[in-house]
């Protein structure tokens, strides 16, 4: 199945910005809805944002709406998460995931519905 590799995490000051990238290994990426999840220590993995295969649908968790933006470039087989105005509650390991049910125009927000996951990238916010 398609392999996903996240990058772009790191250390940023509170109020700063980061852009995360998730690169896919195969062209089948273009048929999959994609999503970003995050998991902080002691917490369950939670939905952050998702995007349909053709970018016609975008969803955001209420906690990040207005600060984060998801977009994708199917020609580059990459999905991005632009994170602005980072807050103390945002630090976590961020994971990208693919819904392997091809060509769907429906986005789901639970971890169980996604079939392929990247290894994650760490985001740390400092004062």
Structure tokens at 100: 């392997």
Give the phi and the psi of residue 111 in degrees, each rounded to 5. Answer: -60, -35
Q: Would you state the pLDDT for residue 104?
A: 92
Q: pLDDT digit string (tens) for 62-115?
A: 999 999 999 999 999 999 999 999 999 999 999 999 999 999 989 999 999 999
Q: Would you state the pLDDT for residue 1?
A: 82
Q: What is the mean pLDDT of the chain?
A: 96
Residue 127 has pLDDT above 90, yes or no: no
Q: Would you state the pLDDT for residue 67?
A: 98
Q: Would you state the pLDDT for residue 68?
A: 98
């Amino acid at each position: 199945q398609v392999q996903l590799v996240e990058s772009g995490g790191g250390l940023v000051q509170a109020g700063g910005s980061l852009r995360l990238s998730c690169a896919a290994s195969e062209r089948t990426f273009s048929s999959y809805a994609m999503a970003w999840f995050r998991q902080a220590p002691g917490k369950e993995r939670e939905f952050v944002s998702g995007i349909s295969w053709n970018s016609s649908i975008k969803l955001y968790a209420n906690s990040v709406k207005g600060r984060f933006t998801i977009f994708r470039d199917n020609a580059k087989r990459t999905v991005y998460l632009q994170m602005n105005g980072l807050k103390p509650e945002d630090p976590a390991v961020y994971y990208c995931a693919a819904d392997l049910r091809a060509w769907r125009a429906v986005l789901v927000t639970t971890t169980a519905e996604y079939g392929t996951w990247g290894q994650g990238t760490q985001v740390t916010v400092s004062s």
